[in-house]
A and B are shown apart, each in its own frame.
Chain A
Amino acid sequence: MGFDKTGGARRRFGRRKGCRFCADSEIKIDYKDVRTLKYFVSERGKIVPRRISGNCAIHQRKITEAIKRARNIALISFTSKRTIE
């Protein structure tokens, strides 16, 4: 059972860079800005953990809150599957 933390992470992201919001862009984290939030939501519609998204704690909390608000107002899906009866 390998315990290498880096290898086991999902290949989807593999972003080890610093926090996107601290460093380069003064982009506001907003629940209406779906394009930015989609980047932090996996295909299953789950919020990407900080160790993978590379965010700092402050911005990760803001992202999480924004994603939950967007989900509540049906901008982002809870699960990625489109449930069309």
Chain B
Amino acid sequence: MRTYETIFIIRPQIAGDEYTALLGKYKQILADQSAEILRCQEWGTKRLPYIVKKQDQGTFVLINFIAGNTVVKEFERRLRLDDAIMQFQTVLLEHGLDLNAPEAAAKTVEDDLDDDDSEQDEEQD
């Protein structure tokens, strides 16, 4: 039983109760397979730096859970089947998860999208 961290992007059109239903479904899938959900963060809808599945926005959701590898395989299979999920990525946390870690500053993705290219020095590739 190891600690995994899955982050996935949901289509921006899915909102409100449909979104909560979808989230509940996935939490239920994990719960059914006796996985212990440590944390579920929802970062909300963001602009993506590149087009994913013809969308340039997406809703990010991060789930940390403790489970066996068969559970992860099944969970990812379900994520792959669902077309509401545009992209997902699962990472194994070797050192487990310390919940009181300082909050990851990933939420400020906006500020890097409109970063001013004030420095005009073009690199020579």
A interface with B by C-beta (< 8 Å): 10-12, 28, 30-36, 38, 42-44, 69, 72-80, 82-85
CA of A75 to CA of B117, assembled, Å:
19
Instruction: Say whether chain A's binding surface is mostly helix, strand, loop, or mixed.
Output: loop
**B87 contacts the other chain (CB 8 A):** yes
Q: Are B108's CB and A83's CB within 8 A? A: no
Among candidates B52, B101, B108, residue contacting A74 with C-beta atoms closer than 8 Å: B52
Q: In angstroms, how far is the closest chain A Cβ from the Cβ of B71? A: 21
Among candidates A33, A36, A73, A82, residue contacting B113 with C-beta atoms closer than 8 Å: A82
Q: Are A72's CB and B121's CB within 8 A? A: no
Chain B positions within 8 Å of A33 at CB level: 104-106
How many of chain B's residues have a CB under 8 angstroms from any CB in A?
Answer: 28
Q: Are A11's CB and B121's CB within 8 A? A: yes
Chain B positions within 8 Å of A69 at CB level: 89, 91
Give me 18 other A-B pairs in contact (C-beta within 8 A), A33-B104, A76-B112, A82-B113 excluded. Answer: A12-B121, A31-B91, A32-B62, A33-B105, A34-B112, A35-B105, A35-B108, A42-B123, A44-B123, A69-B89, A72-B89, A73-B9, A74-B49, A74-B87, A78-B49, A78-B50, A80-B117, A84-B56
**B17 contacts the other chain (CB 8 A):** no
Chain A positions within 8 Å of B109 at CB level: 34, 75
Chain B residues 8 to 26 lying within 8 A of chain A, measured CB to CB, are 9
CA of A85 to CA of B54, assembled, Å:
10
Chain B residues 80 to 114 lying within 8 A of chain A, measured CB to CB, are 87-89, 91, 101, 104-106, 108-109, 112-113
Q: Are A10's CB and B121's CB within 8 A? A: yes
Q: Are B108's CB and A34's CB within 8 A? A: yes
CA of A61 to CA of B55, assembled, Å:
31
CA of A11 to CA of B121, assembled, Å:
8
Chain A positions within 8 Å of B108 at CB level: 34-35
